[in-house]
């Protein structure tokens, strides 16, 4: 699966039942442009029921999170989520269905 952003090689690993109850659906990895692997991204359900991708980060000794990779703005986030969700066969916009 590929798209105009060059998102390809999308893979999904399901979370356990207890994790799913807390909103974690699973983990996603994908490549961008055949050059960059984005790994350890979580697929989560927000409290409002929306599906979203959360990108990995490093937490410093002061408890501040520093993203390892992330979309540069909300528009890019939406485009990446749409491409990944499409590759995973997940309906978007108001859908409560996840894998």
Domain with residue 69: its CATH number is 3.30.1120.40
**Residue 48, in any domain of the structure:** yes
Residue 2: which pLDDT band, with cuts at 50, 70 and 90? very low
What pTM, to 2 d.p., does this model score? 0.84
Contact between residue 55 and residue 67 where contact means Cβ atoms under 8 Å apart: yes
Is residue 96 included in any domain, yes or no? no
Total domains, the chain = 1
Structural domain range at position 27: 7-88
Is 16 a domain residue? yes
The Cα–Cα gap between 61 and 18 comes to 29
pLDDT for residue 1 is more than 50: no
Spatial strand order in the sheet of 51-54: 7-14, 24-32, 36-45, 51-54
CA 78 to chain centre: 10
Residue 53 within any structural domain of the chain: yes
Asked whether residue 98 is domain-assigned, the answer is: no
Is 81 part of any domain?
A: yes
Torsion over CA: 54, 55, 61, 62 (sign) = negative
Q: What is the pLDDT of residue 3?
A: 62
Q: Is residue 60 part of a domain?
A: yes
CA–CA gap between residue 67 and residue 87 (Å, rounded): 24
Q: DSSP alpha helices (H): ranges in the chain?
A: 17-21, 74-88
Residue 80 lies in a domain: yes
CA dist 28 and 86 (Å) reads 13
């Amino acid at each position: 699966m590929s798209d105009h952003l060059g998102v390809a090689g999308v893979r999904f690993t399901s979370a356990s039942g207890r994790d799913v109850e807390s909103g974690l659906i699973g983990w996603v990895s994908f490549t961008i442009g055949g050059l960059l692997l984005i790994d350890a991204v979580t697929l989560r359900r927000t409290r409002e029921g929306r599906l979203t991708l959360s990108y990995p980060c490093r937490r410093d000794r002061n408890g501040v999170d520093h993203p390892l990779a992330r979309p540069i703005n909300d528009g890019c986030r939406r485009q990446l989520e749409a491409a990944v969700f499409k590759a995973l066969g997940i309906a978007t916009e108001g859908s409560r269905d996840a894998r």
